[in-house]
Structure 1
Amino acid sequence: MTNEKSEQRWERTVPEADAGLRLDKFWGRELAGEGVSRGRIKAWVESGLALVDGEVAAKGNRKLMPGQTVSIRAAGPEPGELAAEPVRGDIQAVFEDADMLVVVKPAGLTTHPAPGEPGPTLVNLLVHRWPDIAAENSSMDPQRPGIVHRLDKDTSGLMAVARTEPARLALSASFAERRTFKVYLALVHGCPEPDRGTIDAPMGRHPHHKTRMAVLPKGGREARSDYRVLWTGPRGLASLVAVRIHTGRTHQIRVHMAHIGHPLLGDAVYGARENAEWSRRPDRLAGLAPRQMLHAFYLSVPHPATGEPVTRWLAPPEDFRTLFAGLTRECLRVGIVGMPGGGKSALLKALRDLGRPCFSADESVAGLYAPGGDGAAMIKQRFGGRYTLDDGGVDKPGLFAAMRGSEAVRREVMDMVHPMVRHQCEAFFQVHRDEPVAYAEIPLLLEGGWHKSGMVDLVAGVHCPEAKRTGELRKLRRLSPEILAVFDSWQWPEADKLAACDVVVNNDKGLAELAAGARNLDETANAAWEQRNREFADWMDRLWPELAGELAGEQAGRGEA
């Protein structure tokens, strides 16, 4: 962040929208998020601590003009504003010498004391662990000793802290002059496109919500962030993004990512709608974002005495990593295919008997074609009731005959019904996301190209000898040879189907053998799920040091810090 707060001095350029606004009301709005009361601002103004274009403005009712430069300086501590008391707590330093620290701020800890934040803050822990930082020993601000930049309460990560007043001045200048290198990690909704870019969007106080910041079309202060997508979850659910900030505006990353349509997971302020939808998810992810998922990962600052870069990186905390891993730790989605009458439904039943979640496309279509079903309504609208029964359901024999007689009609019906089946199947997988494996029997999965579009993770094919399929199994289903031949003509040849499968289950004997095949398939799928999770965990462990190395190289290449 800028050194405004550490110096207790603020400066703004009056935007056009604030023409005619009173000086005291302007600063009351601007500093509301800092915990500064209107009464305190009035006292500062009357004490001559407010300037307009460099001249003292001692009256709060002075009307402002667009383009004016206004500043205000805090007075010394008022009654009740006592120095921060030392509080015992667990605070970790990853760099420490006589001039400065780099410490780990956990999420949920406010940086420094402020009205409305009565609990222990980072400053309270600092002055207990390092008493030389306290105001009586360092002559620094009694309530914010050592603070040269700030992280939001619910943001975790690295912070630089000064141990002496000369060090504070030097570090404050480094932040103000943008001679620092700061990179954050954020988990955001969706997948930003393009996958890297610069957000150059001036920011200021929200015009209607005084505790919020916003991108402003006019009058905002310069705010620039570079982002890069490091990873995107299944079906674009969420992404891990690295963000380098060149400026240090309050809530900058949260506002900027929301500005481009990808607010942070867990951010109930700048991503209220997305956060509300997330909290209604039917799986365990709904409870894994209790805060905005933002972590100060990489920090490099010039040492206040030597000028040499002090560079540290820090892997995200457990809650961040748990959510990150949870984004990919979903059920392994297995699609089941095979020739008509070959035993797909029997295999699905065997898997259900094992207690596994199962979806049947045939059952889905039956529901869509039933009275009141979406498919029945769509077919009635398209064909004018020609294939609709008195109860509103679909006349399936009549529709089948029409599809058999006209390829155009068949294609049209498929184009109407398949998207609805796919939607129900996707909803099924989402509901069972927390299971290791979920199965979906979809006869036309391969023909529809669903296996290539990421619909499933593994395809299992049922192989049945032709004589058995067209003989005893056909008779059990009460299908004529002609009807079975029609069904076969609408699908790939069996050799092509099985060649596209990852696993083949043989149905060449009886139901007992098919049940054994179901158990083998389930073992294979569960093993694949565990292997996928292990590989992701290993990749995640490698990601942090590799990313830090990339950032160090980028920093060196630019000659920064």
Structure 2
Amino acid sequence: MSSPADPASQASPLTAVVPRDQGGARLDQFWMGHAEDLGVARSRIQSWIKIGLALINGVPCLRPGRRLAPGDRLELRAASQSSELKPENRELRVLYQDDDLVILNKPADLVVHPAAGLDQGTLVHRLLHHFPELAGKDAGGMDTSRPGIVHRLDKDTTGLLAIALNEPARLRLASAFAAREVEKVYLALVHGRPRAQGVVDAPIGRHPTSKTRMAVTEKGGKPAHSAYTVLWTAPEDRFSLVQVRIASGRTHQIRVHMRHVGHPLLGDPTYCPASFTGWQHEVPGMNALLRRPMLHAWKLGLPHPRTHQPLSFVLPPPKDMLRVILAGSRTTQRVGLTGMPGCGKSLFLAELAALGLPTWSADKAVAELYQPGRDGWELLRRNFGDRFIPDPEGPVDKRALLNSLRETPRLRRELEALIHPLARRHLEDFWQTHRKQRVAAAEVPLLLETGWPSDFDLIVGLACDPDRRRNWLLTDRGWDENLLADVESWQWPEAKKIQACHLVVANPGSRDQLAGRARDLTVVLRWLRRQAARRLLSRITALVAPERDASRDQE
């Protein structure tokens, strides 16, 4: 082996051939055996290997633990002075600082330390500017490629990160991590609804076919333990907010483990199959928000490297994570419109439609179902023969049908049992068609009587002066007093009906004024949606507040 006087300044590489008696040795241990001859710290040799300066038989090897075979030709290219890290004056979010330790809030899209092909723009470069002692005489043999680093977060993972400011502190913190004396709890947004809590004990190693991925492996993997608890689940079980406590710290551990149990992280292009993401396309703006895997280092507890006193830090999730929660929780605001006969429901629904709201009418849906050949028409033919459809190919005789309903209450209940489920399915299709809309409205005269309130988020009752309503039905619709009494007897009394509604809109009597009431309602609906978003944000904030730790509550 060549033996230069100053390996950090020379241009020619160090070379060696593995002797027979050192077959099976690790790459880093082989070169560390010559550390005294090289005149550099062993940690520095290991850092050279990790940034691609070690070659085996002419091929770069970044794995310090690579086992060597007798006769392997080795090269070690010491980092030159020109490749020394240059401090960068960029933002650093410091949450805690003393002479030995710094706790940072790491943002997304920031690599922690340099690696092969990445010699600028990392967190370490920022650290060197804000904490020049990391590169000073007091660094005490600290790894020059990653000074102060005792644990890592993935490039796109946000949250708490501990940095040692001197070598004694680094060694003590590294020992605490190795002894699992450090508490690490993350927040993640995962697809679907996992069971309330679970433990994943599954070894993690390199993916068998992809060099850039990790995987749960039966052979060759390192032990990995993750315990998760579901904190909250979005509507329709689209996704869930979970806390994950990890004992080990394997590469991509949480991403791999949650994928292993069938609930990959939102925004994770590496471990989330496309089959999980279909719902995202139904939520406006969701795909644009998911620019990274939704993972955040939430809690960090560790002993102080000098005093050994326990320290605990909690960092709420970043804004992009909260935006995903709010956007992904949006559903169509389903508004039901009801009221007594002649109160102006159809006119009010038309005004809402003129304002751009998708609308649906139960009366129109039933009329469609009674068209020849449609489901309602078929049920009438099957159950009543030609009683209401005298022509086998003709329309329903609605006058005969109405008269029978008035004469025979049992028949009315029987017909409702047949037709109402068809109308409800029609309504469900309407909601599904307009699932991307922020709000949609449906007029259902018997909404309360039929037991459909669960199909709506808000029920609006249209109230009208009883005398004006009665006069309109008798004069404009051609009803008589008996028909009016019969139809109203099929519904709840007006006072009970109005009292059961969430909102009441008074019909002022003119079309222009009714249009104004429709505009007012849309303003109220928008305000209610904003209030719902604020309540959700408050709920999530309470769930992840410092005093909250669901898994410990259940231990």
Q: TM-score, normalised by structure 1?
A: 0.73
Q: Which runs of 5+ in 1 are unaligned?
A: 1-21, 25-33, 61-72
Q: Of the candidates 193, 196, 219, which is equivalent to residue 195 of structure 2?
A: 193
SS at 2:498 equivalent:
helix
Aligned to 2:134: 133
Q: Which amino acid aligns with 1:532?
A: A
SS at 1:320 equivalent:
helix
Count of paired positions:
497
Aligned to 1:506: 506
Q: Of the candidates 157, 160, 163, which is equivalent to residue 158 of structure 1?
A: 160
Aligned to 1:357: 357
Deviation for aligned residue 1:501: 0.7
Q: Does 1:528 align with 2:533?
A: no
Q: Of the candidates 420, 429, 432, which is equivalent to residue 437 of structure 2?
A: 432
- The alpha-carbon distance between structure 1 residues 465 and 74, as it changes in their structure 2 partners (threshold 3 A), is farther
Aligned to 1:308: 309
Percent identity over the alignment is: 37
Preserved contact between residue 185 and residue 295 of structure 1 (Cα < 8 Å): yes
Aligned to 1:550: 548
Q: Does 1:418 align with 2:440?
A: no
Cα distance in 1 for residues equivalent to 2:452 and 2:158: 40
Aligned to 2:86: 85
Q: What is the CA deviation profile of residues 307-357 of structure 1, one whole-angstrom value per residue up to 9, with x for unaligned ones?
A: 21222222222322333343456665432122344321111223344x252
- The alpha-carbon distance between structure 1 residues 77 and 441, as it changes in their structure 2 partners (threshold 3 A), is farther
Preserved contact between residue 84 and residue 144 of structure 1 (Cα < 8 Å): no
SS at 1:151 equivalent:
coil
Cα distance in 2 for residues equivalent to 1:48 and 1:411: 71
Q: Which amino acid aligns with 2:505?
A: V
Deviation for aligned residue 1:106: 0.7
Q: Which amino acid aligns with 1:239?
A: S
SS at 1:334 equivalent:
strand
- The alpha-carbon distance between structure 1 residues 515 and 146, as it changes in their structure 2 partners (threshold 3 A), is same
Greater CA drift, 37-46 or 116-125:
37-46
SS at 1:431 equivalent:
coil
SS at 2:546 equivalent:
helix
Aligned to 1:243: 244
Cα distance in 1 for residues equivalent to 2:415 and 2:25: 73
Aligned to 1:12: none
Preserved contact between residue 366 and residue 423 of structure 2 (Cα < 8 Å): no
Preserved contact between residue 45 and residue 58 of structure 1 (Cα < 8 Å): no
- The alpha-carbon distance between structure 1 residues 46 and 238, as it changes in their structure 2 partners (threshold 3 A), is closer
Q: Which amino acid aligns with 1:506?
A: A
**Aligned ranges for residues 187-226 of structure 1 at < 5 Å?**
187-194=189-196, 196-216=197-217, 220-226=221-227
SS at 1:250 equivalent:
coil
Q: What is the CA deviation profile of residues 409-431 of structure 1, one whole-angstrom value per residue up to 9, with x for unaligned ones?
A: 64344334423421322442x32
Greater CA drift, 473-482 or 229-238:
473-482
**Aligned ranges for residues 332-347 of structure 1 at < 5 Å?**
332-347=333-348
Q: Which amino acid aligns with 1:415?
A: P
Deviation for aligned residue 1:93: 1.7
Q: Does 1:149 align with 2:151?
A: yes
Cα distance in 2 for residues equivalent to 1:396 and 1:185: 60
Aligned to 1:317: 318
**Aligned ranges for residues 284-295 of structure 1 at < 5 Å?**
284-295=285-296
- The alpha-carbon distance between structure 1 residues 272 and 119, as it changes in their structure 2 partners (threshold 3 A), is farther
- The alpha-carbon distance between structure 1 residues 47 and 464, as it changes in their structure 2 partners (threshold 3 A), is closer
SS at 1:179 equivalent:
coil
**Aligned ranges for residues 44-83 of structure 1 at < 5 Å?**
57-58=69-70, 77=78, 82-83=83-84
- The alpha-carbon distance between structure 1 residues 140 and 283, as it changes in their structure 2 partners (threshold 3 A), is same
Q: What is the CA deviation profile of residues 54-98 of structure 1, one whole-angstrom value per residue up to 9, with x for unaligned ones?
A: xx64478xxxxxxxxxxxx99785679944332221112212222
Preserved contact between residue 110 and residue 152 of structure 1 (Cα < 8 Å): yes
- The alpha-carbon distance between structure 1 residues 240 and 309, as it changes in their structure 2 partners (threshold 3 A), is same
- The alpha-carbon distance between structure 1 residues 108 and 266, as it changes in their structure 2 partners (threshold 3 A), is same
Q: Which amino acid aligns with 1:280?
A: H
Aligned to 1:29: none
Q: Which amino acid aligns with 1:518?
A: A
- The alpha-carbon distance between structure 1 residues 450 and 82, as it changes in their structure 2 partners (threshold 3 A), is farther
Q: CA RMSD in A?
A: 4.7
- The alpha-carbon distance between structure 1 residues 47 and 497, as it changes in their structure 2 partners (threshold 3 A), is closer
Q: Which amino acid aligns with 1:147?
A: I
- The alpha-carbon distance between structure 1 residues 367 and 233, as it changes in their structure 2 partners (threshold 3 A), is farther
SS at 2:282 equivalent:
coil
Q: Which amino acid aligns with 2:146?
A: R
Greater CA drift, 509-518 or 285-294:
509-518
Cα distance in 1 for residues equivalent to 2:330 and 2:364: 27
Preserved contact between residue 83 and residue 135 of structure 1 (Cα < 8 Å): no
Aligned to 2:183: 181
Preserved contact between residue 341 and residue 474 of structure 1 (Cα < 8 Å): no
Cα distance in 2 for residues equivalent to 1:493 and 1:48: 80
Q: Which amino acid aligns with 1:226?
A: A
Q: Which amino acid aligns with 1:425?
A: W
Preserved contact between residue 110 and residue 117 of structure 1 (Cα < 8 Å): no
SS at 1:550 equivalent:
coil
- The alpha-carbon distance between structure 1 residues 131 and 47, as it changes in their structure 2 partners (threshold 3 A), is closer
Preserved contact between residue 158 and residue 298 of structure 1 (Cα < 8 Å): yes
Q: What is the CA deviation profile of residues 462-509 of structure 1, one whole-angstrom value per residue up to 9, with x for unaligned ones?
A: 234566556523764577889878876775554443232111223474
Q: Does 1:518 align with 2:518?
A: yes
Q: Which amino acid aligns with 2:237?
A: G
Preserved contact between residue 185 and residue 240 of structure 1 (Cα < 8 Å): yes
Greater CA drift, 284-293 or 120-129:
284-293
- The alpha-carbon distance between structure 1 residues 85 and 47, as it changes in their structure 2 partners (threshold 3 A), is closer
Preserved contact between residue 158 and residue 314 of structure 1 (Cα < 8 Å): yes
SS at 1:261 equivalent:
coil
Q: What is the CA deviation profile of residues 134-178 of structure 1, one whole-angstrom value per residue up to 9, with x for unaligned ones?
A: 387442222222221111111111111122222222212211221
Preserved contact between residue 123 and residue 144 of structure 1 (Cα < 8 Å): yes
Q: Which amino acid aligns with 2:506?
A: N
Aligned to 1:105: 106
Cα distance in 2 for residues equivalent to 1:322 and 1:359: 29
Cα distance in 1 for residues equivalent to 2:130 and 2:227: 35
Preserved contact between residue 266 and residue 275 of structure 1 (Cα < 8 Å): no
Q: Which amino acid aligns with 1:223?
A: A
Which one has a bigger Cα radius of gyration? 2
SS at 1:549 equivalent:
coil
SS at 1:414 equivalent:
helix
SS at 1:321 equivalent:
helix
SS at 1:548 equivalent:
coil
Cα distance in 2 for residues equivalent to 1:48 and 1:255: 21
Preserved contact between residue 150 and residue 163 of structure 2 (Cα < 8 Å): yes
Q: Which runs of 5+ in 2 are unaligned?
A: 1-23, 27-48, 406-410
- The alpha-carbon distance between structure 1 residues 100 and 416, as it changes in their structure 2 partners (threshold 3 A), is same
Q: What is the CA deviation profile of residues 185-221 of structure 1, one whole-angstrom value per residue up to 9, with x for unaligned ones?
A: 2223333332x33333333322333322223456543
Question: Which structure's relative contact order is higher, taking Cα pairs within 8 Å and 6+ residues apart?
Answer: 1
